[in-house]
Amino acid sequence: SVKAAAQSWSAGHVRQLTLAATPATIAGLIAPFITTLNVDDPLLLTQEARPIKLHEMLHSGTDMVISPTHMREDFAHLRLGSVPLRAYVSNDHPWALARKTEVRLEELVREPLLVHSVQSVARQELDLAMSHAGLAYGKIEECDQAMTIQALASNGRGVGVVTDPPGYSGWHAKVLSSHTPNQYLGVTLHAAWNHQHYSTQTLESLAVRLRDFMIWSHQMLEQRMLNGEFDVAAVFGPFA
Cα-based torsion angle of the residue sequence 181, 102, 34, 152 in order, rounded to the nearest 10 degrees: 130
Specify whether the CB–CB gap between 164 and 27 falls below 8 A.
yes
Average pLDDT over residues 21-28: 90
pLDDT score, position 229: 60
Counting residues of the chain whose pLDDT is more than 90, the rounded percentage is 60
d(CA 208, CA 210): 5
pLDDT score, position 219: 82
d(CA 141, CA 127): 14
- The distance from CA 141 to its chain's CA centroid, rounded to whole angstroms, is 21
pLDDT score, position 51: 86
pLDDT tens for residues 149-178? 999 999 999 999 999 888 888 999 999 987
Average pLDDT over residues 24-28: 89
| Selected residue with higher pLDDT from 5 and 81 | 81
pTM here? 0.80
d(CA 183, CA 176): 6
pLDDT score, position 239: 29
pLDDT score, position 226: 66
Reduced DSSP (H G I as helix, E B as strand, rest coil) percent helix, strand, coil of the chain, to 5? 40, 25, 40
Residue 221 parent element (H or E): helix 200-226
| Selected residue with higher pLDDT from 25 and 73 | 25
β-strand pairing of 64-67 with 102-103: unpaired
Backbone angles phi, psi at 160, to 5 degrees: -90, 125
Position 137 pLDDT exceeds 90: yes
pLDDT score, position 220: 81
d(CA 66, CA 78): 10
pLDDT tens for residues 181-233? 678 999 999 999 988 888 889 999 999 999 999 999 888 877 776 666 654 44
